[in-house]
Chains A and B, each alone.
Chain A
Amino acid sequence: MSEPRLLLTASPHVLGPDSTPRIMWTVVATLVPIIATSVFFFGPSALLILLAAGGGAVLTERFVGRKGSLNDGSAAITGILLGLTLPPGMPLWMAFLGGFFGIAFGKLIFGGLGQNPFNPALLGRAFLQAAFPVAITTWPTTDGAWSALRGDNFALPLMSPHSVDGTTGATPLGLFKFENTNTGFGDLLFGNTSGSVGETFGLLILLCGMFLAWKNYLNWRIPASIFAAVVLFSGTLYLVDASTYPSPWFMLFSGGLMLGAIYMATDMVTSPTTNLGCWIFGAGIGILVVVIRVWGGLPEGVMYSILFMNAFVPFLNRSTRPRVFGQQPKVKKAKEAEAKS
């Protein structure tokens, strides 16, 4: 037998089937049906916004990030998720700028994948919200010709967009908050409302989330505790005064809650690593969402709730570590030491 060429590596010598790119690209794949329905509702504008935001994120990662880091798929997720949270009629250059900002200042500045404390897509959106408050709150309706643009997508940078041709209207949350009008539950469930590109079809997002949870690509405890907190908190308010406060089901399926709970809050990098931490993290988001929606100045608060709770993640990780196998409670230890002395 001739001497074979032998590989020397550390054990274990068998590895699980998952890999980071596989997780990331699977998440991208589950976003495809959501993208398809958003194009169905909002026409070519939706696709243009996604391409602009995605392009901004991916190009930034390509030219500013580490070599080859595009392959892990995380920049693509950031870009698509950012696009899904923007109004379809927004000027494209703003979406592109949001993608750039999210990746450059939300992720790369901290050291790239895995190092960022805040969800980069939401950070990009927060930047746009601060920089272009009007453009990001101008919502087209789902009516009108499918192929028509839903706003002045092609406005030039730094020029004020032309008045839009398409009809605009408030989102269900805006309607409720400022005009005290309710939206039908069926429309909410199936996304037939105005809103951001990809946030409206709540039921589909929920199904995609269940698939990811089954694959263990997201921690189901986060959306579960967000939903539970929202339903319990807003449900209590609804029971107290049904005429002032919205129903918990409306809360669940309106605005960006579904998209935020399934795709943003569960971002592995910016959510807790411990299961107990995930429960607390989700509960915090749920409570904040209800507080902002009901008493805050804005109709929607999912983005700020998640970003706010992101800041708590290192603390949650440290303080919710499980008890190590065989570890004795501190009191018992002290007593034993006493008995010995």
Chain B
Amino acid sequence: MFGKDFFRNGVHPPEAKDLTADVPIRRVPFPSQIVLPLRQHIGAPSVPLVKKGDRVERGDKIAKAGGFVSVAIHASASGTVRDIERRPHPDGSYSPAIVIDVEAHSAQMPRPRIIPRWEGLSVAELLQAIQDGGLVGMGGAAFPTHVKLSPPADQKIDMVLLNGCECEPYLTTDHRTMVEYPERVHVGTRIMMKVLGISKAVIGIERNKPDAIKIMRDSVPADLDIEILPLTVKYPQGAEKMLIKAVLDREVPEGGLPMNVGVVVMNVASVAAIAEIFETGMPLIERILTVTGSGIKKPRNLIVPIGMKLRDVLNACGGLTDDASKIVMGGPMMGPAQGNLDTPILKGTSGVVVLNEAEAHPQATYPCIKCGHCLDACPVFLDPQHLGSLGLHRNYMEMYDKNHLSTCMLCGCCSYVCPSHIPLSHLFGVAKATLRSEGVKV
């Protein structure tokens, strides 16, 4: 048995997962156009391999990795490259993207390919396959999978930790993945264990998903040493550092990575994606996506091609209700609000949450009353109240120098509890972005 199942602080937002928790995953018809931004992951943007007018087939590599911390991008539907141009990106910018006009009869079933058996491949070949497959973390951060799986030689890894917490409210992507594709998760775990040369894995799942816990337990193959660990329902249980603390009682040093304490953390959907490369031969061209919230007519769990536009996704779910007023990509605690329906779904987009007018209505802000609730909520023990007042005065350097701004992961707990509705995590995000633009590494 592992850990104390405990990390300090955090918050308990309403879960709101029942809208889609029991809705089976379904495919959707292809849209008429796909937009694939070259910047979908952390690290260097991908480099296009196609040009205007090229015909591409579903699964074709259309952009190669732009460096080691980068991955390939593949066409998610067959069609013609319309252009490589700036298109809306979920982060609010217009970013270079490969735009594909999809053929009317593009098949969802890929043409037969030669699928290598992973058991026969060397570690280097597996890593290459994973990078070529365009795999990134699908829980939101989109960190290239092969980089996570290539720790430096002096870092001893003794544990793979699978993240099945899905602590963001509303989302049921990982939940449904575990319920409907448990074998894929297990196969993906085997491949990761082989790459890392270890024999032990743990899957942490929040207790609000009893069906996923049961199915994952029942489906574990006898020869696989993997433990399914139910965890307390608390946000941000799924944050790497919190999860490692809760499961293994290890504390990732400030500024460090999970590998510094011998752990690789991977979201369950990303693990299932590893298995999929060797099961169907298909790279990462589609993903499971929860489309939910009170502002959508038919909340569903979908398999959508990467690059499908928000507009098409919403239409596949019956469209917006009349009082829909805010669209969030990802979970409501950390996901950015979207203003353009032509924004595409990326590899790391775990959900689309549509809030109605009453839920989205902005709250009046008041001066800080120094209640200290933010200190009690911060899972990394910062002083958000003090950081916030520095942020309001644009004293960014002092936030970074003396107040551990880099440790903040923008989880939003402080903003959630603030009775004066001061946008604390937003201030910290702005501070980080400003410092980065000035060349400070935060």
Q: Measuring CB to CB, which residues of chain A are less than 8 angstroms from any residue of chain B?
A: 1, 3-16, 18-23, 72, 74, 112-115, 216, 219, 268-269, 271-275, 278, 317, 321-328
Contact = CB atoms under 8 A, between A and B. Distances in A.
Residues of A contacting B: mostly: loop
Contact of A326 (B251, B324, B327): B251
B369 A268 contact: yes
Nearest to A270: B370
Contact of A23 (B253, B320, B325, B371): B371
Interface string B363-407: 110111111110110011111011000000000000000001001
B314 A13 contact: no
Contacts of B381: 322-325
A254 to B, nearest CB: 30
Contacts of A74: 369
A274 B375 contact: yes
Contacts of A317: 383, 386
A127 B414 CA distance: 37
B339 A6 contact: yes
Given A12-B412, A324-B254, A114 B369 contact: yes
Given A12-B333, A13-B332, A268 B371 contact: yes
A5 B341 CA distance: 11
Interface in B303-344: 311, 314-315, 319-320, 324-328, 332-339, 341
Contacts of A322: 375, 381
A20 B422 CA distance: 11
Contact of A7 (B319, B337, B372, B415): B337
A5 to B, nearest CB: 7
Nearest to A217: B371
Interface stretch (B27-35, B61-69, B102-110, B423-431): B423-431
B75 interface: no
Given A324-B380, A325-B381, A326-B256, A20 B333 contact: no
B99 interface: no
A1 B367 contact: no
Contact of B425 (A11, A115, A278): A11
A309 B416 CA distance: 30
Interface string B9-36: 0010110000000000000000000000
B190 to A, nearest CB: 31
A274 B426 CA distance: 22
A25 to B, nearest CB: 12
Residues of B contacting A: mostly: loop
What are the nearest 3 A-B pairs in CB distance? Answer: A10-B426, A273-B372, A12-B412
Contacts of A278: 372
Contacts of A22: 419
A109 to B, nearest CB: 15
Contacts of B311: 1
A322 B353 CA distance: 35
B362 interface: yes
B339 A14 contact: no
Contact of B355 (A13, A19, A323): A13
B417 interface: yes
Given A9-B337, A11-B328, A13-B360, A1 B315 contact: yes
B252 interface: yes
Contact of B367 (A5, A12, A18, A114): A114
Contacts of B371: 23, 268, 273
B199 interface: no
B432 interface: no
15 contacts: A6-B325, A6-B327, A7-B337, A7-B362, A10-B423, A11-B332, A15-B415, A16-B419, A114-B366, A273-B385, A325-B380, A326-B241, A326-B407, A327-B404, A328-B254
A20 B425 contact: no
Contacts of B426: 10-11
Q: Which among B363, B373, B421 has the greatest number of chain A C-beta atoms within 10 A?
A: B373
B334 A11 contact: yes
Contact of A15 (B315, B319, B363, B367): B363
Given A13-B353, A324-B404, A326-B380, A6 B338 contact: yes
Contacts of B95: none
Contact of B407 (A114, A216, A219, A325): A325
Nearest to A278: B372
Given A19-B364, A272-B372, A326-B253, 13 more contacts: A12-B425, A14-B333, A15-B416, A19-B363, A72-B366, A113-B366, A114-B367, A273-B372, A275-B375, A321-B383, A325-B407, A326-B241, A326-B256
Contact of A18 (B327, B419, B425): B419
A245 B418 CA distance: 45
A273 B328 contact: no
A20 B380 contact: no
Contacts of B151: none
